[in-house]
Structure 1
Amino acid sequence: MLYITGTPIGNLEDMSYRAVRILQEADSILCEDTRVTRKLMTHFEIDTPLKSYHDFNKEEVTESLIEDMKHGKTYALVTDAGMPVISDPGFELVSRMQDEGLPYSVIPAASAFTMALVASGIASYEFTYFGFLPKSSSKRSEKLSEIMHHQFTSVLYESPHRIKNLLTEINKIDSGRIVSISREITKKFEQHVRGAAAELLSKLDDEIPLKGEFVVVIDKYEESETEFTGQPKDHVTSLVEEGMRPKDAIKLVAELRGLKKQEVYDEFHK
């Protein structure tokens, strides 16, 4: 049996009774960083053995874990904070459990991105979770351009030393876009700030300390009617200049204007 067990993202009082019981009863707990998980175990007086399971060893240990569970062993999978598998290792193990027809269950807990979305004041009927942006500057610019032209609300994670750079890039593309920043969620200095990109950028370092992990919620892209008056080719060109890949820009322009993608492609490449 495998229990995919959610843990608190900051405030230990958010730990559920069920999660504590599962961690106590499991034969072993699979965790990213044993040092981090051991603090949680100590707080709740749980003495279940810990076993490392992370991006660097998951391929080596997954099959042995499957064999253990075939022979009756029970594991609990946790992450350093929040729900396992979300932007963390684990989906491969769940996939193998499915392949082998082995039982597993999910023990719920908070995820920072859902809590930030709820606290943002930005419409959440349709949204896309993007996780962390790529580290490569070129790939990062491409992804951010895609996000800034996305037709749904977007949610992403950012580190404190990159948040200013992120807001600067957002500001260059659309300084008036409504953005919400959440930090230190469930902790003592929890903070949620919403406003235009330019406004939030001006508040960094002052009203918004560069401490803690950040969750950024970006309002959806809305194309004004006046932007459709130009030629599709010019529209694609402007998106490419903002950092979007030509094929993505062509697809977006076709969707926004109700045109066939091939038509836009042909015009752009004339």
Structure 2
Amino acid sequence: MSIHQPAPRSHSYTAFGLKAEAEPLAPGLHIVATPIGNLRDISFRALATLAAADAVLAEDTRTSKTLLAHYGISTPLYPYHEHNAEQMRPKILAKLREGGKLALISDAGTPLVSDPGYKLVAELVAQGLPVTGIPGPSAVLAALVLAGLPTDRFFFEGFLPPKAAARRGRLTELAAIPGTLVFFESPRRLGGMLADAAAVFGPRPAAVARELTKFYENVRRGPLAELAAHYDAEEEARGEIVVIIGPPGANELAPAGDVIEERLREALKAVSLKEAVAQVAAQTGQPRRTIYARALELTREP
């Protein structure tokens, strides 16, 4: 599929019942954030960019047609996703070298955040071609500010591995990060993911944000184990899900020695000594060397 020379058309958009003509767009790739649910969450600058572009590159053209139609935008849509990126990227680069004006959007939110586009932008930067960002909605930030957890430092992980063993391994690697953790998760894996997080992190506070900005928006907050029990008992959660987990030591008191020992004994039944030490240190916020010394004592007991 090639990106054709644009045919003469209107460069207008309609918002609040009023029709506006978009100003000419500068050449280059324009990365445009689009709504994560509520179609009203879009800026006038984003609408003008989508209307004035030669073409819009969309992760799913079926989803994007709804957005463009809602605002009366007739810009041609072309698919750009992980399955066709290798074939499309040279065509996009050629179009931009000719002075083309293209807009890149994802299914929802800010492109390149758990969406295709990074390699394209990297090549544009390497070749000195212009790239412009049109900021706007982001599920990561929307969930973070609603969670009621520290926001001064946060780490976005995206999706964890689907298999439990690999998931726990990755959670163990993330346990010592001194900031709030942000994850995407699918509805069918939510209960298992929260249970694994509770096993690795202990009683950290967390929040599950679903269907953000939509009619059924819901944010449930509580300790990880409590959230895991709730979503394990509930029928499969629906919609787009963001999980926020507090940093090490958030709302936790230093545990007594018997608590550390109990957690070590449980962890050592399931994982290696090294992994058990990492898990318990992350759960308790205690120095790893202290946990390691106690773990050695336990392994030497008759």
Provide the TM-score with structure 2 as the length reference. Answer: 0.75
Amino acid across the alignment from 2:63: V
Q: Which residue of 2 aligns with 1:215?
A: 242
**Which residue among 7, 18, 22 is the counterpart of 2:45?**
18
| C-alpha contact (below 8 Å) 1:146/1:244 kept by paired residues | no
Which segment drifts farther, 188-197 or 84-93? Answer: 188-197
| C-alpha contact (below 8 Å) 1:145/1:244 kept by paired residues | no
Q: Which residue of 2 aligns with 1:162?
A: 189
| C-alpha contact (below 8 Å) 1:155/1:215 kept by paired residues | yes
Q: Secondary structure, in 3 states, of the residue corresponding to 1:194?
A: strand
Q: Does 1:95 align with 2:127?
A: no
Give the CA deviation at 1:106.
Answer: 0.4
Give the CA deviation at 1:206.
Answer: 7.5
Distance 1:38 1:57 in 2: 19
1:2 to 1:85, Cα distance in 2 relative to 1, 3 A:
same
**Which residue among 29, 51, 54 is the counterpart of 2:56?**
29
Amino acid across the alignment from 1:182: A
1:164 to 1:238, Cα distance in 2 relative to 1, 3 A:
closer
Distance 2:113 2:150 in 1: 22
Q: 1:43-93: CA deviations, max 9, x gaps?
A: 111111111111111122212211111111111000000000001110111
For 1:1-270, list aligned pairs within 5 A: 1-204=28-231, 210-222=237-249, 224=254, 246=274, 257=287
**Percent identity at matched positions?**
35
Structure number with greater Rg is 2
1:240 to 1:78, Cα distance in 2 relative to 1, 3 A:
farther
Amino acid across the alignment from 1:47: S
1:208 to 1:121, Cα distance in 2 relative to 1, 3 A:
farther
Give the CA deviation at 1:16.
Answer: 1.0
Q: Secondary structure, in 3 states, of the residue corresponding to 2:227?
A: helix
1:247 to 1:138, Cα distance in 2 relative to 1, 3 A:
closer
1:66 to 1:195, Cα distance in 2 relative to 1, 3 A:
same
Give the CA deviation at 1:209.
Answer: 7.0
Count residues with an aligned counterpart: 262
Provide the TM-score with structure 1 as the length reference. Answer: 0.83
Supply the RMSD in Å over aligned alpha carbons: 3.5
Q: Secondary structure, in 3 states, of the residue corresponding to 2:184?
A: strand
Segments of structure 2 that go 5 or more residues without pairing to the other structure are 1-27, 297-302
Distance 2:80 2:198 in 1: 39
Give the CA deviation at 1:15.
Answer: 1.3
Segments of structure 1 that go 5 or more residues without pairing to the other structure are none
Distance 1:205 1:74 in 2: 48
1:8 to 1:242, Cα distance in 2 relative to 1, 3 A:
farther
Give the CA deviation at 1:139.
Answer: 1.9
1:3 to 1:43, Cα distance in 2 relative to 1, 3 A:
same
Give the CA deviation at 1:175.
Answer: 4.9
Q: 1:212-241: CA deviations, max 9, x gaps?
A: 1111110112394756xx99xxx9998776
Distance 2:231 2:79 in 1: 37
1:196 to 1:131, Cα distance in 2 relative to 1, 3 A:
same
